[in-house]
Amino acid sequence: MAKYNKKRARELQHDKFRDTAGRIFDRAADKLEGQGRTILYGLLGLVVLAVIVGVYLKWSNKKSEEARQALGRAIAVATAPVATASPAPGAPPPTYATEQERAQRAVAEFEKVAAKYGDPYKTEARYFMGTNLLNYDRERGINELTEVSKSSVTEAAMLAKFALAQARELEGKYDEAAKLYSELATAKGNVITPETANVQLAGAYEKLGKKAEAVDLLFNIVEASRKAKDSDGSPMPPSSAARAATEKLQKLDADRYAKLTPELPNDSPF
């Protein structure tokens, strides 16, 4: 009964406010002619909508910041130092004894993020879960990456597909890896560029015995890079993928490498 009374009191207070507000707007509306009442209530609706949107945005921004911080903490776990046989001089002390131990802890943290927050943080957390699971539960990791690769969260989906392609390549499933790399190359994304995907695709082709296809891919990457110019007409510096393609092509087919457009000298003093 006490709970009901409090609830009812709130309802009555709300009704009193509503009635008072209604009388105020009715009096103002009476002074307007024609469409005055419609205009007034329309303005009231806009004010209420603005308040609702403002409250939602404030709540949404707070949740987004909370999700970013949670994801950051999980990534910090996934990248924490692991004990090695010969640590580098001045390296921070190891947090975990093995990569598997670190991966298990990281997966637990990413699971919390995926369970609590919505996209894009949920899907990003699942991507990181998949890559860490590969260290100790490969089948589950493959399944997680496969699901994320189909997501509408574009960047996480592309990263998951790339990680999945690399996993398949390590397993010796070069046909599957080549298919995934090819899909990434045609997607023309920013997080995994066509150049990066095609360099990896060339590696898969080479392992499949498709040397000619690999050489063509590498040649085209390097040739396009050497001809690329910026908005001022100056040569563009090669990307890391183009540099990798150059090294691979030189080793794989020196004769084809010799047919490349000569590389322009770098006049930069730096």
44 with 117, same domain: the answer is yes
Residuewise pLDDT in 10s, the chain (270 residues): 434 334 434 443 444 444 544 454 455 445 445 445 455 445 555 555 555 555 545 657 888 899 999 999 999 999 999 987 677 787 778 889 999 999 999 999 999 999 999 999 999 999 999 999 999 999 999 999 999 999 999 999 999 999 999 999 999 999 999 999 999 999 988 999 999 999 999 999 999 999 999 999 999 999 999 999 988 888 999 999 999 999 999 999 999 999 999 987 655 444
154 with 203, same domain: the answer is no
The answer as to whether 190 is a domain residue is yes
Domain count, the chain: 2
The answer as to whether 4 is a domain residue is no
Q: Which residue has the tokens 């009715």?
A: 26
- Mapped onto helix, strand or coil, the DSSP state of residue 82 is strand
The domain of 209 spans 172-228+237-260
How many other C-beta atoms can be found within 10 angstroms of the C-beta atom of residue 109? 21
Instruction: Tell me how many degrees the CA angle 83-89-93 measures, rounded to the nearest 5.
Output: 35
For the chain, what percentages of helix, strand and coil (3-state, to nearest 5) are there? 70, 0, 25
What does the alpha-carbon distance between residue 82 and residue 135 come to, in Å, rounded to a whole number? 14
181 with 153, same domain: the answer is no
153 with 177, same domain: the answer is no
224 with 248, same domain: the answer is yes
Beta bridge partners of 229: 235
181 with 204, same domain: the answer is yes
140 with 199, same domain: the answer is no
104 with 218, same domain: the answer is no
Name which of 131, 135, 159 is nearest 82 in CA terms: 135
Which of 114, 132, 165 terminates a domain? The answer is: 165
How many other C-beta atoms can be found within 10 angstroms of the C-beta atom of residue 242? 21
The answer as to whether 13 is a domain residue is no
The answer as to whether 33 is a domain residue is no
